[in-house]
Chain A
Amino acid sequence: MDADNDAGTGGAPLTLWRGEQKPSRFGYEYRVAVLAGFRYEAADGGSGRTTGDASIQSEGKTKIEPIVTYQVWQLGSQRFGSKNVELSEADKARMDTELAVLEVDRVRLKIPYTYLGVKPGARIRVAYLDVQQSATQESSLSTDQTLALK
């Protein structure tokens, strides 16, 4: 997400491979990582959750539910210099029920403006990347879209 809609500012450029070429996209300030995972209950009475996993061992678990969550990262000037934006305790508590909801055939997210440093009336630029798809094919970073925040 380019929070100020200015390609001249932001973190390290996104460098993508397309065949033998290596084009870059500039000006994004934040990355929102949407992660699959599971919430489970164990046979010994415990419970837990995993994040960033596409599968889970079922042995020893009495209940397993797929979930999604997201993390917000502020991009740094270096490719690996991103900084995690800490969500409030209230937002962590409503992550599963309001902010990141997994439905039968889709995922619905709500990302509060405050984590992106933007306010109503601002215009931001967004693009998205299907990481799983990119693991098996060429990069699939979408074209940019501009959003006018209400």
Chain B
Amino acid sequence: MGEPSKLDELVRFAIKIGARGLQLKAGQEPMAVIAPGRLSPINHPPLSQEAITAMGAEAAARGSSRYGPVEARFTCSSETIAVVISRPA
């Protein structure tokens, strides 16, 4: 299992604080998007344009297989609710 990438690191932090996205600008500290128009610094050194471009390419390569939405199906048995979470085909 490989080490987490820079993209993993930033997305993981954004998820942990409940952010809705990341704002990345070359030479500036990455910001978490808390809500439209509301940004919060995430205490990460500024990124170079090359690093941002590489992260964008990595995200695009992963595509929806990793970050696409999931769906949940619910059924009931005698005492439990069963949930199956998967990605739409």
A interface list, Cβ under 8 A from B: 17, 19-20, 34, 52-58, 64, 105-114, 116, 120, 126, 128, 130-140, 142, 145, 147-150
Contacts and interface: CB of A to CB of B under 8 A. Distances in A.
Interface string B25-44: 00000000001100000000
Contact of B20 (A52, A56, A134): A134
Given A58-B3, A111-B80, A111-B81, 12 more contacts: A54-B4, A56-B1, A107-B83, A110-B83, A113-B81, A114-B79, A120-B79, A133-B69, A135-B11, A136-B21, A149-B76, A150-B77
B81 A110 contact: yes
30 contacts: A17-B36, A52-B16, A54-B4, A54-B15, A55-B4, A55-B8, A56-B4, A57-B3, A105-B86, A106-B86, A107-B83, A110-B80, A110-B82, A112-B80, A116-B81, A120-B78, A120-B79, A126-B74, A130-B70, A133-B68, A134-B20, A135-B11, A135-B21, A137-B20, A137-B21, A139-B20, A145-B74, A147-B81, A150-B76, A150-B77
Given A58-B1, A150-B76, A150-B77, A108 B83 contact: yes
Nearest to A146: B74
Interface of B is mostly: mixed
Contacts of B67: 132-133, 136
